[in-house]
Amino acid sequence: MSNDVVVPKSTFGGKVAVADMKSLAQKAQVAAQNNPRGGGAPNGSDYLNFSGKRGIFTIGKDKRQISSDERWVVDVTSFEEGWVCWKARKPEASRLSNIYTGAPVAQPDPEERGPFDHNKGEGWHAAKALVVKSLDGGEQGYFKNNSVSGVGEIADLMEEFSERAAQDQPCWPVVCLVPEEFDAQGFTNFKPTFEVQEWMSTEDLATLGQDEEDEDEDEDEIEEEEEPKAKAPRKRARA
């Protein structure tokens, strides 16, 4: 019997087989330790962004603002880590890989893509990323962050996941995306936080995916029923 854990396609837009959840937990544990405090978005995902100055999360091209009570399930097979290069107030390059299926990304040479003005935050910074899906609206977001606080939050989530998975406990976190205010040198800033509301089991997640598939099938049936029927040709009157 296979011990693979397969994330339903309808849940996160792609199947990821995990040979051993405890092995994934071990890799998350190692990745969590790569914490500065002590690529493109995956298919089916929109970019999920956070403004540290305004304290808001937004998603997608239309930058929909996310409510702090909206619930999101975290895809624990999506954890990534690596590096992001900032230059001239924008990301110059990103190098991240999946902690379970990818090869670790080596730290770039500090002067690669330089010269940098380190007083303005330029240079290479450690980064982490993950995929979340809204349980309330169905949108899927890819969140990548290289701030010390943001990377620390993802590292904490990795740590909690790894501990629960290692003990065979429900380990898929359902979170709310909440900005947390803090003062820095007399200025008010915000950091992204993931407030865990509950933990789902793999079986619960599979059920969630099946429910979504059933809803899609129901919608297809409704659409077919609502299609207008072709009118029968009118008979011509006899002369």
Q: What is the CA radius of gyration of the chain?
A: 23
Where exactly are the structural domains of the chain?
A: 5-216
For 116-153, what is each residue's pLDDT tens digit?
Answer: 999 999 999 999 999 999 999 889 999 999 999 999 99
Q: 232 pLDDT exceeds 90?
A: no
Percent of the chain with pLDDT over 70: 73
The residue among 6 and 77 whose pLDDT is bigger is 77
Residue 123 in contact with residue 110, Cβ under 8 Å? yes
For 171-207, what is each residue's pLDDT tens digit?
Answer: 999 999 999 998 877 888 999 999 999 999 999 988 8
The set of residues, in sequence order, having a beta carbon less than 8 Å from that of 71 and lying 6+ positions away, is 134, 135, 136, 174, 175, 176, 197
Residue 55's alpha-carbon distances to 30, 86, 178, 182, 183, in angstroms, are: 30, 21, 9, 10, 13
